[in-house]
Structure 1
């Protein structure tokens, strides 16, 4: 599938006429029709209904048009940003992060970066810790903030914080009125684990915490996103463990209970390529250390 085919499809969908679309695109109608047929064959769906001399989008065509228009708009933004970086002479600095750091550490660090005047165009990408490893090696990001340490010879890592874990339960749960809970209280509960993939992940960290105390986690459901896991908890489908900063999330249908288990923590781990000589990376690493030191 080529961008040219998608652009042709969008034009035909907007005009609902091969004749008008070919005039607008400045190409002959037969090659345009061929491109649309090839696109339909590649997708394995019919995008247009041919009604005599008129056409209209099928339901699949409407969906494809909506989504490709969103992609095109995003691509246009990327093109504009790329030109802006080239014209300004600024460097681009990519940061990968897991969503759970955005309840405390992440926003504080990013504010410090803006206040310090880091001389770079900052790109933020939400991704799991394992995805950060691939992105670091591919040069897609310059630094990652995750929940597990990356065991790789080419990656430098530093644990910035150890956040206590808290138990998230439905508002009607038997433990919802408790000020705190112990391992004995939570060991036999049914859990919603996240992320389900890719592994290893924070889910394996949670499983490991129980196994170190000779307990096995009973998994009711797995989710790929923390927000989804908390939603499943709200629905009464299980409980889950989340970093304590997530308690800042205001929900009426979920209660967060601190644990009387000092070992039940989750690290925030900073990772970067060992051979990177970027001065911006050194500046961001220093700011991250300062942010962690000042964390409550």
Structure 2
């Protein structure tokens, strides 16, 4: 399948008439019909219902059309961004992150880097394992995650250990307490992300398993926000890093655990043995200041100059 086939199909789906679509594409109708038929054969599904007045989308065709639009729009935005970077002659600097690590001070790092005129900043939401692979391939320059990964090409620095909290639906019997894991194990658990693994989900499950506690996993989901939504719906509880509790979501209450030693690390991953660029040196210095602010309890943005 080639990109032009997606473009052909999009135009046909918009016109719902092969003659008009061919005219818009500056080609004759028979070759266009053959290309669409070839696309259907390759996919293994009928995308168009042919009739004397034109064509209509089948259910698979409607699905394919919607996703074709997303793909083509993503390609267009990527091309535009690439041209913008080429014109600006800025240095491209890419940061990978897990969502749960970006509710505290780390967004301030992004804010400070965005203020630099010589940097084009790219953000990529990736699990820690995906970050390691992206670092090795050169897709990102630095990553922020929660799992310790043993890889000879990547070095990891523990920025800080973050207490874990339990997210409960408002009005829950454990609201206002500091529950133990034994108490929580008697109730259904929601874990995230579901894939890829290992992830924070495995770290959470490990907390129970190491204490020989059986816990029922009511639901696995890929998104933190979805997990919180399921908590509001009463499907169970979920364990989250402390900084997530800053999300004031209606219907949810947060509580510290009875065991205050239960924590999740926030890790910074970089390529090992690489001479840091000027941008990386700036990043490291901003991080140093932010971590000092965290240690002292000072969170002022302006002081990170």
Gap change, CA 1:244 and 1:12, over 3 Å in 2: same
- TM-score computed with the length of structure 2 as normaliser: 0.89
Q: Which residue does 1:110 correspond to in 2? A: 110
Gap change, CA 1:239 and 1:29, over 3 Å in 2: same
Gap change, CA 1:212 and 1:58, over 3 Å in 2: closer
Q: Which residue does 1:148 correspond to in 2? A: 147
Q: Distance in 1 between matches of 2:158 and 2:6?
A: 45
Q: Which residue does 2:227 correspond to in 1? A: 229
5+ long unaligned stretches in structure 2:
298-305
Q: Note the C-alpha offset of 1:271.
A: 0.3
- Give the number of equivalent residue pairs: 294
Instruction: Give the one of 191, 208, 225 matched to 1:210.
Output: 208
Classify the secondary structure of the residue corresponding to 2:159. Answer: strand
2:138 is the alignment partner of 1:139? yes
Check whether the contact 1:47–1:60 (CA below 8 A) recurs between aligned residues. Answer: yes
Q: Distance in 2 between matches of 1:34 and 1:206?
A: 53
Q: Note the C-alpha offset of 1:269.
A: 0.5
Q: Note the C-alpha offset of 1:267.
A: 0.9
Q: Distance in 2 between matches of 1:217 and 1:291?
A: 37
Q: Which residue does 1:268 correspond to in 2? A: 266
Q: String of CA shifts for 1:109-166, please: whole Å, max 9, x gaps.
A: 2122234x26321111111111111211221111110011221111011011211111
Instruction: Give the one of 189, 193, 200 matched to 1:195.
Output: 193
Check whether the contact 1:160–1:270 (CA below 8 A) recurs between aligned residues. Answer: yes
Check whether the contact 2:113–2:121 (CA below 8 A) recurs between aligned residues. Answer: no
Alignment root-mean-square deviation, CA: 1.9
Check whether the contact 1:170–1:233 (CA below 8 A) recurs between aligned residues. Answer: yes
Q: Which residue does 2:58 correspond to in 1? A: 58
Classify the secondary structure of the residue corresponding to 2:222. Answer: coil
Moved over 6 A (4+): none
Q: Distance in 2 between matches of 1:53 and 1:12?
A: 14
Q: Note the C-alpha offset of 1:24.
A: 2.1
Q: Distance in 2 between matches of 1:246 and 1:76?
A: 34
Q: Distance in 1 between matches of 2:118 and 2:273?
A: 21
Classify the secondary structure of the residue corresponding to 1:123. Answer: strand
Q: Note the C-alpha offset of 1:179.
A: 4.3
Q: Note the C-alpha offset of 1:26.
A: 2.0
Q: Note the C-alpha offset of 1:59.
A: 3.0
